[in-house]
Amino acid sequence: DLLGFDKASKTLDWLLTNSVSAIKELVEMKMNCTTAGPSAEMIRENYYSEMMGVGLNEKRDAFDNSSRE
């Protein structure tokens, strides 16, 4: 209510949208401490894609197409 949203999902959306840069920074710091190299970069990119919802439609389409075969 304080944020002007009437539903929890809108509040969570607002929170994630406004904190995504801080989340990315934390993930970057964690990845740099635990792993290095090309595989770490791939994991990082996948995580960012999942966080931002990028690629979800393509994954869903690929799954749908494979289940029809």
Q: To which residue do tokens 């994954």 refer?
A: 59
Confirm whether pTM is higher than 0.75.
Answer: no
Give domain limits for the chain: 8-68
DSSP state of 2: T
CA distance 5 to 2: 8
Task: Express each pLDDT in 5-31 by its tens digit.
Answer: 567 778 888 888 888 888 888 888 877
Estimate to the nearest angstrom the gap between the alpha carbon of 35 and the chain centroid.
Answer: 19
| Contact status, residue 14 vs residue 3, Cβ threshold 8 Å | yes
Identify the band that residue 69 occupies on the pLDDT scale cut at 50, 70 and 90.
Answer: very low
Average pLDDT of the chain is 68
42-64 pLDDT, tens digit each: 776 777 677 666 554 555 555 55
What is the structure's pLDDT at 40? 66
